[in-house]
């Protein structure tokens, strides 16, 4: 159905959980929808809008949910060491000045929520107020990895598709919360890259996946990393739940 500001919405119920997909068609058209990754994203979002996406990835017990992924059992010290190693190698970037952080804080103030830990309904404000935000609660899947999930927020910033996951919580647990979420959000990025690659492969028989930037954020911080981190962690047998 059509909503204000040309926001298209469709509700999905997957594993008995309702997801309210919303797509700012107006924002997407202004950012571009006829070339490159934005055109491929448009094709994917059209399928989501029309309800023509496959049901098997979201109903089959043989598909894992990205939200169930985590790191294989390791001590707190090992997790901290992994995080520091990823940051040192430039594979993980902590961005305290990210627009996502400033925007989500502003939306809390505007709504009078001084907890700065609002639930995911606050993400609708991105579609209403941020011209770089494209869609929320976007279903994605991977036949290759037998995975499925729903992306909190998709933006286009710094000339790249951004897969963003909102992880609210207390400041003193931000690092712990974000670190545990890396496999989940990297999986979202990998699945999105595969979905965007489909039109390119059909047209060009291209093997290379599109570049995707993954973002984990709250009102305190934003961590960024490439979607390729998923396959790297998987190859190192560091992901549980697959």
| CA–CA dist 165, 137 (Å, integer) | 10
What's the pLDDT tens digit per position in 19-74?
A: 999 999 999 999 999 988 999 999 999 999 999 999 999 999 999 999 999 998 88
**Per mean pLDDT, which range of 51-60, 108-117, 130-139, 223-232 is the poorest?**
108-117
Report the pLDDT value the prediction gives residue 5, as an integer from 0 to 100. Answer: 57
Expressed as residue numbers, the domain containing 153 is 2-240
Query: By three-state DSSP, how is residue 163 classified?
Result: strand
- Taking alpha carbons only, the member of 127, 118, 132, 130 closest to residue 166 is 118
The answer to whether residue 7 scores a pLDDT higher than 90 is yes
Share above pLDDT 70 across residues of the chain, in percent, rounded to a whole number: 93
| CA–CA dist 131, 162 (Å, integer) | 14
What's the pLDDT tens digit per position in 184-241?
A: 999 999 999 999 987 555 544 445 667 899 999 999 999 999 999 999 999 999 999 8
The answer to whether residue 1 scores a pLDDT higher than 70 is no
- Taking alpha carbons only, the member of 31, 215, 224 closest to residue 130 is 31
Q: What is the mean pLDDT of residues 131-149?
A: 97
In contact, 211 and 160? CB cutoff 8 Å: yes
* pTM of the shown model: 0.92
| CA–CA dist 240, 13 (Å, integer) | 25
Banded model confidence at residue 3, pLDDT cuts 50, 70, 90: very low
| CA–CA dist 46, 146 (Å, integer) | 23
Which two structure tokens, joined as six digits, stand for 68?
A: 């169930």
In contact, 136 and 153? CB cutoff 8 Å: yes
| Count of domains forming the chain | 1
């Amino acid at each position: 159905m059509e909503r204000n500001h040309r926001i298209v919405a469709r509700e999905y119920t997957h594993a008995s959980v309702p997801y309210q997909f919303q797509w700012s068609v107006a924002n997407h058209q202004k950012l571009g929808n006829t070339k490159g990754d934005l055109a491929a994203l448009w094709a994917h979002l059209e399928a989501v809008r029309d309800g023509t996406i496959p049901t098997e990835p979201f109903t089959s017990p043989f598909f894992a949910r990205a939200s169930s992924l985590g790191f294989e059992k390791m001590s707190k010290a090992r997790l901290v060491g992994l995080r520091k190693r990823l940051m040192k190698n430039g594979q993980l970037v902590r961005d305290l000045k990210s627009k996502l952080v400033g925007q989500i804080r502003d939306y809390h103030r505007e709504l009078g929520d001084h907890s700065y830990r609002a639930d995911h309904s606050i993400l609708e404000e991105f579609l209403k107020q941020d011209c770089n935000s494209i869609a929320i609660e976007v279903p994605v899947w991977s036949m290759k990895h037998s995975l499925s999930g729903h992306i909190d927020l998709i933006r286009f910033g710094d000339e790249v598709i951004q897969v963003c996951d909102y992880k609210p919580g207390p400041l003193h647990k931000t690092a712990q919360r974000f670190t545990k979420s890396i496999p989940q959000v990297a999986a979202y990025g990998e699945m999105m890259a595969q979905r965007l690659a489909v039109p390119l492969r059909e047209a060009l028989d291209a093997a290379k996946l599109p570049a995707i930037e993954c973002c984990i954020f709250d009102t305190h911080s934003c961590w960024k990393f490439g979607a390729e981190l998923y396959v790297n962690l998987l190859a190192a047998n560091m992901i549980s739940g697959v």
